[in-house]
Amino acid sequence: MTNKLNSHVKVGDTIKVIAGNQKGLIGNIKSIFSKKSLVVVEGVAPRIKYVKNQQGGDSKQIELPVSIHISNVRAWDTLAKAKT
């Protein structure tokens, strides 16, 4: 038996984050992970990870996409500036 997620949002939809650290930010859905009920949102502040070089060189910054639980996002209409 397959466990398919019936979602209120799809890839490419504009959403607003309604809970968590990113609350109030608006972005587009880049991808959906249906098994864990997570969405990756483009336009939301990314997580920054610092990676040191093993040989003692300079460290680099890597931006990681933020994954948010699907229950913490709401479909958003940018023209009407309201929930849909």
* Residue 64 counted as domain residue: yes
Query: What H or E segment, with its residue span, contains residue 69?
Result: strand 67-69
* Residue 66 counted as domain residue: yes
**The two structure tokens encoding residue 14:** 């504009």
Asked if 28 and 43 touch (Cβ cutoff 8 Å), the reply is yes
* In the predicted structure, residue 45 carries a pLDDT above the cut 80: no
Least confident of 21-25, 36-40, 52-56: 52-56
In sequence order, the 6+-apart residues with CB closer than 8 A to the CB of 46 are 63, 64, 65, 66
Look up the pTM and report it: 0.73
* Residue 68 counted as domain residue: yes
Place of tokens 């038996």: 1
E strand residue ranges, 8-59: 14-17, 26-33, 38-42, 47-51
* Residue 9 counted as domain residue: no
Average pLDDT over residues 41-60: 83
Domain, as residue range, for 69: 14-79
* Residue 1 counted as domain residue: no
In the chain, how many domains are there?
1
* In the predicted structure, residue 75 carries a pLDDT above the cut 70: yes
CATH of the domain at 67: 2.30.30.30
pLDDT of residue 82: 66
pLDDT of residue 4: 64
* In the predicted structure, residue 72 carries a pLDDT above the cut 90: yes
